[in-house]
Amino acid sequence: MSEKPVVLVTRKLPEAVEARLARDYQAVLNAEDRLYTTEELLALADGADGILPCHTEHLSAEAIARLPDRVRVVANMSVGVDHVDLGAAKSRGIVVTNTPDVLSDATAEIAMLLLLGAARRASEGERLVRAREWRDWSPAFMVGTQVTGKRLGIVGMGRVGRVTARRGRGFDMTIHYHNRRPLPAEQEDGAVYHETLEDLLPQCDFLSLHCPATPDSRNLLNAERIALLPDGAIVVNTARGAIVDDEALIAALGSGKLAAAGLDVFNNEPDIHPGYRDLANTFLLPHIGSATRETRDAMGFRACDNLDAFFAGHEPGDRVA
């Protein structure tokens, strides 16, 4: 019987996922859930046949060039793959996979939490209650923005964007969207397509970002585009921090151009731009879009499925490079 492949697992995973990995592979686990430096990761990869990383591990072109020849597959436990240089992996013949589909519901839930929390000033109210600064009730107290019946603009009408649109319809929101191409009518479900982002933005009382982070989408939401949003609009981001120009968004929140923002993802996580913390009208979460037991198990199992297919000599179902 041939020896089981060695798989380096870079973060602490759900118990059931680690049990499956330990059963089927020689799994090098991270029991302490340490965030490895690049040098530590490369050292641990010596002797590995595959790596199961998360979005916290940055496999740059330089890092991939230094991976041992024995590493043949990188099975990410994430949908986004902007942390991996796909071109560098492809040039070395390393297969790269991701875990789509299984986190759409959980991430859309967080998008709606951010949307509601930002609109109804949840962070401010929660802080008042905890600090015992809530004095009384008044018609002028903690007045926010109503969600019901408003226009929700979605950038990136993929799996998560479509689920978010369905959740928005539950609040009688009108859905507008921008995508690389219009969806089939049965998937649009009445949503209004805008060919350009510039056409979409003036129609958004709320703007929710769901597009992948690519060189083309970096700083997609910049000062010029924020200016196209209606005064008092609210921005939600559950995609990637790189899509937003931090300085531009913080300036618009500070000036009152935007009423609020709900953010689960940031540039340079977790060392985010301090301006977000200083603003009262930001509802901030620590990148927990997929953080449910059900979803994290499903993501881990999907990564395992991709490893199983690869080492069995089959094409992984979620191959991206």
Choice among 120, 225, 240, 302 that is catalytic: 240
Strand extents, DSSP E, 4-88: 6-9, 26-28, 50-52, 73-75
Q: Is 130 a catalytic residue?
A: no
**Cα–Cα distance, 304 to 17 (Å, whole number):** 8
Catalytic residue among 162, 287, 296, 302: 287
3-state SS, residue 284: strand
Supply the DSSP string of 241-254, one letter for each residue: GGGB-HHHHHHHHH
- Torsion angle (degrees, nearest 10) of CA 157, 116, 150, 289: 0
* Angle 46-51-55 from CA coordinates, rounded to 5°: 125
Strand 73-75 to strand 26-28: parallel, antiparallel, or no bridges (unpaired)?
unpaired
Spatial neighbors of 186 by CB under 8 A, at least 6 apart, are none
Residues 6+ apart with CB under 8 A from 46: 68
Instruction: Decide: 170 and 152 in contact? Cβ < 8 Å.
Output: no
Note whether 253 and 280 are within 8 A (CB). Answer: no
Identify whether 83 is a catalytic site residue. no
Q: How far separated are the first and last CA of the chain, in Å rounded?
A: 30
Please indicate whether residue 55 is annotated as part of the active site.
no
CB atoms within 10 A of CB 125: 15
Choose, from 195, 224, 247, 269, the residue flagged as catalytic: 269
Which residues are known to be catalytic?
Answer: 240, 269, 287
